[in-house]
Amino acid sequence: MDVLLLSRLQFAMTTFVHFIFVPLTLGLSLLVAYMEFKFVRSGDETYRRMAKFWGKLFLINFALGAVTGIALEFQFGTNWSRYSAYVGDIFGSLLAIEATLAFFLESTFLGVWIFGWKKLSPKMHNAAIWLVALAANLSAFWIIMANGWMQNPVGYVFGEGRAELGSFMALISNEFAWHQFIHVLSASYVLSGFFVLGISAYHIAKGSNVDFFKKSFRIAAPFTLIFAIVVVVQGHSHGATVAKYQPEKLAAMESHWETRTQAPQYLLVIPDPSNQRNRLELFPIPGGLSLLAYHDFNAAVKGLNDFPRDDHPPVMTTFLSFRTMVGLGFLFPILAAWVWFRRKVPEDSPGLLKILPWIIPLPYVAIQLGWIVAEMGRQPWIVYGMMRTSEAVSPGITTAQVAGSLAGFMAIYGLLVALCVFLLSKYGRKGPEPAVQE
């Protein structure tokens, strides 16, 4: 392995681990804020206990997730200095806003929320967690605007051998980035919803704190169903933006090799990238791919063979990740609809209660696969059409240095993930504190 590959592996590993924590933070913060809002409005102590119980799980996830995020930005200097020098004027401004505005807002009011239970009025205390939720989602906005710029660079000018910021408004109104933002946010809410549903189902099935967890179940059920539907519908629109701005990625996602009009959508495909064709294509939907990509049965969809070979993304990885993500994406609304129909009497559906705790990992898998499609499908570019990944790596670092730091990150991040799983599992199964202690 050379420095480039090791640096890519290191950044991929640290990003994917960090993104294990982020989606739950985005959605669970909203659910906790809503539970506390229900307490403020109704005075029902159960909702206050719910905010505390789910808030504890949120805090565990947030604390460990924040640690994993710190190392990411340092890598732009250590491993990707050419990238930073070339586009840092644009990319860095978005990261700076994220850190100084969103992250500090989130951290500050999280502290207020943790220590303010007995010091603030209920309304002011509830306002603190709403601000935490707002800031967490704002943080995601700035990060995804930065990534969206790498996918579809806009609002820049060239000067002194590097890209410089030309229009901040163009940067934050990037169509591709907005589609990414909505898709990631709604997927994160689905993940958070199934997290609450899974733990609630576990306790309801055991007959533990049934009233408490039935209320949690009823809150999470519509939340999960709404955003599971949004993911599918908006995901279709996002696919159209991929076709518009990154046609090579779309072709790789579908393993589509030859340009043709009325391009069919094959339900079963086995790619053969080495021979630039498919080994097997079965069950075509005539014009299906044209319709999905361009909303027109007769539209021409450009195949990979009409792009330079050097510009092909890794087809097999992109294709399999996309197909698996889509399969999971269609599974979630079905499960969420089942949950919604049984939300008032979940105890009458023992099969559903047994399934839901095992569903918790699946949205994590879907989200990670989505990032693989986004990042691997953009290759060989680090900034699409502007800078290749091979041009972005730092000069002067050695294979041994990167291999050593990669091994260190793997050990530390592996420990943090194991600790998070252990703590969430321990406190999730333990349940809330008894009501008499409130």
pLDDT in tens, 331-353: 999 999 999 999 999 999 999 99
Residue with tokens 């269609």: 330
pLDDT tens digits for range 191-200: 999 999 999 9
CB neighbour class for 17 (10 Å; exposed up to 12, middle 13-18, buried from 19)? buried
**CA neighbor of 419 nearest in space, from 11, 5, 36, 63:** 63
pLDDT at residue 437 greater than cutoff 80? no
- The string of pLDDT tens digits covering residues 205-254 is 999 999 999 999 999 999 999 999 999 999 888 989 999 999 999 999 99
Q: What is the pLDDT of residue 1?
A: 77
Q: Chain-wide mean pLDDT for the chain?
A: 92
Determine the residue type at 378: R
pLDDT tens per residue, range 7-36: 999 999 998 988 888 999 999 999 999 999
Contacts of residue 302, defined as CB under 8 A and 6 or more positions apart, other chains included, come to 247, 251, 259
Span 117-157, pLDDT tens digits: 989 999 999 999 999 999 999 999 999 999 999 999 998 88
Rounded CA gap, 90 and 165, in Å?
5
Write down the pLDDT at residue 434. 81
* 267-318 pLDDT tens trace: 999 999 999 999 999 999 999 999 989 989 999 999 999 999 999 999 999 9
* Whether pLDDT at 436 is above 80: no
The model carries a pTM of 0.93
Percentage, residues of the chain above pLDDT 90: 76
The whole-number pLDDT of residue 70 equals 78
pLDDT of 438 over the 70 cut: no
Cβ 273 vs Cβ 336: under 8 Å: no
Q: Please report the pLDDT score of residue 425 as a whole number.
A: 92
- 390-420 tens-digit pLDDT: 999 999 889 999 999 999 999 999 999 999 9
User: Is the pLDDT higher at 71 or at 178?
Assistant: 178
